[in-house]
């Protein structure tokens, strides 16, 4: 535990992301405890008069954004957004991410991919040399879930990844379902030396809807540590 605390660092990263926001922007709002800080801070700006239109990446974020007084829209009305700000479970120096710890990866990837820029906010504990210490979440169709899990293990093995994949359960032991009504497989395969190859293999696996590897999507990562907030990738003025 550091002096500021992990939650304080998440808050600092979220504060730094406000520098990327301009009046009139269409914004994607991420999901999770770090993104929740950003939504709260953005809500305060909106109440001060900043005009924004926001697309949430989960029902939880939608509820929070509504409570904070943010104006919401959809990708159907605005298929292209200016900016998405979101958290991550892991990131590396090439701004590749693992996301989906909260199960929101599908909408998060759709919203981030519809955005000109994606700014990731994180405390320094999320920074890794090689992705994979965090079990990779993969969203699958619930029908035939155990078969999909076996196919995922098989394609992973083909590229040298071995470990344990498990269908996510709630704390009550019932199957976890995403906002879209799908299941999640958490893939604890350890280090993923070639995330591009694994992403491609998962993209081609029957039953897989989407996976939590975000490659070539993030434009910046704002990393908060005891020594301040470091910007990897594009700065606000880029």
Ligand X SMILES: O=C[C@H](O)[C@H](O)[C@H](O)COP(=O)(O)O
Binding site for ligand X (CB under 6 A): 30-35, 86-89, 99-105, 108
Strand 115-123 to 220-225 pairing: parallel
Any known ligand binding at 73?
no
Any known ligand binding at 89?
yes
Any known ligand binding at 82?
no
- Judge contact between 179 and 63, C-beta under 8 A: no
Of the pair 5, 157, the CB lying nearest ligand X is at 5
Of the pair 28, 32, the CB lying nearest ligand X is at 32
Q: How far is the CB of 160 from ligand X (least distance, A)?
A: 26
Q: How many CB atoms lie within 10 A of CB 23?
A: 9
C-alpha 235/C-alpha 238 separation (Å) is 6
Tokens representing 128 are 């890794």
φ/ψ (deg, to 5) at 153:
-60, -40
Of the pair 2, 157, the CB lying nearest ligand X is at 2
Any known ligand binding at 86?
yes
What are the beta bridge partners of residue 208?
Answer: 140
Annotated catalytic residue within 48, 93, 108, 196:
108
Measured on CA atoms in the order 190, 208, 57, 117, is the torsion positive or negative? positive
- Judge contact between 234 and 117, C-beta under 8 A: yes
Q: How far is the CB of 162 from ligand X (least distance, A)?
A: 24
Nearest residue to ligand X by CB is: 32
Any known ligand binding at 181?
no
Q: How far is the CB of 34 from ligand X (least distance, A)?
A: 3
59 is catalytic: no
Helix (H, G, I), strand (E, B) or coil at 52: coil
Of the pair 36, 152, the CB lying nearest ligand X is at 36
C-alpha 22/C-alpha 7 separation (Å) is 26
Question: Which residues make up each annotated binding site for substrate?
Answer: 31-34, 86-89, 99-102, 126
Question: Which residues make up each annotated binding site?
Answer: 31-34, 86-89, 99-102, 126
Query: Which residues does the annotation mark as catalytic?
Result: 108
């Amino acid at each position: 535990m550091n002096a500021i605390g992990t939650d304080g660092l998440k808050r600092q990263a979220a504060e730094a992301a406000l520098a990327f926001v301009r009046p009139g922007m269409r914004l994607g709002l991420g999901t999770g405890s770090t993104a929740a800080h950003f939504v709260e801070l953005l809500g305060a700006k909106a109440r001060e008069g900043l005009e924004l239109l926001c697309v949430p990446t989960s029902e939880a974020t939608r509820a929070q954004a509504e409570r904070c007084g943010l104006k919401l829209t959809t990708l159907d009305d605005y298929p292209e957004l200016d900016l998405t700000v979101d958290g991550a479970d892991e990131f590396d120096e090439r701004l590749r991410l693992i996301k989906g710890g909260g199960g929101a990866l599908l909408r998060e990837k759709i919203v981030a991919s519809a955005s000109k820029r994606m700014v990731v906010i994180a405390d320094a504990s999320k920074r890794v040399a090689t992705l994979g210490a965090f079990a990779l979440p993969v969203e699958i169709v619930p029908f035939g879930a155990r078969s999909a899990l076996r196919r995922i293990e098989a394609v992973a093995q083909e590229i040298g990844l071995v470990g344990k994949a498990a269908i996510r359960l709630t704390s009550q032991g019932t199957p976890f379902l995403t906002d879209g009504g799908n299941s999640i497989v958490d893939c604890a395969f350890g280090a993923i030396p070639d995330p591009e190859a694994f992403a491609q293999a998962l993209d081609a696996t029957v039953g897989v809807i989407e996976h939590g590897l975000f490659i070539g999507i993030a434009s910046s990562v704002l990393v908060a540590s005891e020594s301040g907030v470091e910007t990897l990738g594009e700065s606000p003025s880029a």
